[in-house]
């Protein structure tokens, strides 16, 4: 009996060891799989965070922090694209420059924070007058530039008057009451041929400064403005 008992004990011991090894192996595999899933989740989270940070940096690079409109860099990016598309397809696009009249007085009288709120308010008014495919930009300070896609001179005239009127009719409602403001608007459009956006910007700028002679008005560029400028230079 004793001779038969020893092998059975050995076998049972070996079986127990094998079972323990299998349990340890399964535990280690399960732990490894959990660790792998945790690492995959971390990688996924960090990749998503990195992508979000990249998108935020890209947004900040091409948009104005105060108004969330496109900034000057974003303006030229889309302007160059529209120029190439117009050369290829012979479509017309327009440029509207908007400058808030006597904005320094608003800052001096009500403070720069209130001035910032007025700028945000004006930005919203302009966006509501434009189509979804148009590009409204804060070019700098109190000056805005709007690229109007697939348009014509008549539509540009209507838009210029709408923007001017919206500014006049919708003062900013501040903590201390209404703050009224107006804008001077200059308009130009794609002439085709060898025209380019820089030349368009110069024409719109001339028209805007013509409008600023009287304030709260708009002007569309015409060739006579170039002639008058040449006469003054002469």
Query: What positions carry a catalytic annotation?
Result: 142
Residue where the block lists tokens 């013509």: 210
CA 119 – CA 110 distance, rounded (Å): 13
CB 219 within 8 A of CB 210: yes
> In whole angstroms, what is the distance from residue 186 CA to residue 168 CA?
16
Max distance between CA atoms of the chain, in angstroms, equals 129
Residue 98 to residue 203: CA distance in whole angstroms: 13
Residue 167 neighbours by CB under 8 Å, 6+ apart: 100, 122, 125, 181, 182, 183, 216
* Structure tokens given for 95: 């440029």
């Amino acid at each position: 009996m004793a001779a038969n008992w020893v092998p059975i004990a050995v076998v049972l011991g070996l079986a127990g060891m094998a079972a323990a090894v299998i349990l340890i192996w399964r535990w280690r595999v399960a732990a490894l799989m959990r660790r792998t899933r945790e690492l995959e989740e971390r990688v996924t989270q960090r990749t998503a965070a990195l992508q979000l940070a990249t998108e935020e940096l890209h947004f900040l690079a091409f948009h104005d922090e105060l108004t969330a409109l496109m900034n000057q860099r974003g303006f030229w990016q889309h302007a160059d694209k529209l120029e190439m598309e117009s050369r290829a397809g012979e479509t017309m696009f327009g440029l509207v420059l908007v400058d808030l009249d006597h904005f320094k007085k608003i800052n001096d009288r009500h403070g720069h924070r209130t001035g910032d709120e007025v700028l945000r308010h004006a930005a919203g008014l302009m966006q509501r007058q434009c189509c979804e495919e148009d590009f409204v930009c804060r070019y700098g300070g109190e000056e805005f530039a709007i690229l109007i896609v697939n348009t014509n001179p008549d539509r540009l005239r209507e838009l210029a008057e709408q923007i001017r009127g919206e500014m006049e009719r919708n003062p900013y409602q501040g903590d201390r009451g209404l703050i009224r403001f107006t804008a001077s608007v200059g308009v130009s459009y794609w002439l085709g041929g060898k025209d380019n956006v820089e030349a368009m910007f110069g024409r719109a700028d001339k028209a805007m400064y013509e409008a600023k002679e009287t304030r709260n008005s708009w002007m569309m560029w015409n060739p006579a403005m170039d002639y008058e400028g040449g006469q003054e230079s002469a």
